[in-house]
Chain A
Amino acid sequence: GQGVEQPDNLMSVEGTFARVNCTYSTSGFNGLSWYQQREGHAPVFLSYVVLDGLKDSGHFSTFLSRSNGYSYLLLTELQIKDSASYLCAVRDRNNNAGAKLTFGGGTRLTVRP
């Protein structure tokens, strides 16, 4: 089975950075995705990682440590509009699970001036 955990809330300051943490426990692992969800809107895909290490995608970067069951999403040069919920989702290795994702509860990031 899958368990995906995220802190409920995170606050940071415009122009700085924020790190959104995600821990997971799985019977199998076939990748981890990050989604952004603004209030009243659907989740939007940000990133997918399957190999250990840091994946730099500019404004968003993601880190994965499979041995520790840990990932983070790093947002740099924060803007007010980055205020949103950030969802972590783990994909099962089980072939029958296919593309099925197990989502964490999401972290609500608030960026203040």
Chain B
Amino acid sequence: DAGVTQTPRHEVAEKGQTIILKCEPVSGHNDLFWYRQTKIQGLELLSYFRSKSLMEDGGAFKDRFKAEMLNSSFSTLKIQPTEPKDSAVYLCASSPDWAYNYAEQFFGPGTRLTVL
């Protein structure tokens, strides 16, 4: 079975650009998460979808970050406009179904974003 896939693996952007990161969850999983990871802040939740419905939009990240899930097998994270402080690894994760108390989240390989 394919795991979580993310593209691109690396992205370099100029300040002010718009970038779109892509994620394909594990087939059949109902929950999808976008995280940002930096050495200083650790793993921070950006967005959480349950059965394609947005459950959490990340509070402080709302203004320039927008995640969408148009179908159950594909999600995007748009950052517009990018700023140097957005440089981080962006991780996508999926999980089968929270209703069954299933705890494991399966993470993709991440996209390393560098904003100049």
Contacts and interface: CB of A to CB of B under 8 A. Distances in A.
A66 B50 CA distance: 27
A103 B42 CA distance: 8
Contacts of A45: 103-106
A42 B98 CA distance: 21
Contacts of A102: 45
Interface stretch (A17-25, A52-60, A93-101): A93-101
A87 interface: yes
Contacts, number: 59
Contacts of A101: 45, 105
A21 to B, nearest CB: 16
Query: How many interface residues does chain A have, given as a range?
Result: 20 to 34
B104 A100 contact: no
B107 A104 contact: no
Nearest to A48: B103
A33 B104 contact: yes
Contacts of A42: 91, 107-110
Interface string B92-112: 000100100111111111100
Contact of B103 (A33, A43, A44): A33
Interface in A67-112: 87, 91, 96-106
A91 B31 CA distance: 14
Given A42-B108, A42-B110, A100 B45 contact: yes
16 contacts: A30-B101, A31-B101, A31-B103, A33-B103, A33-B104, A41-B109, A42-B91, A42-B110, A43-B105, A44-B107, A48-B104, A91-B103, A98-B55, A99-B105, A100-B33, A100-B56
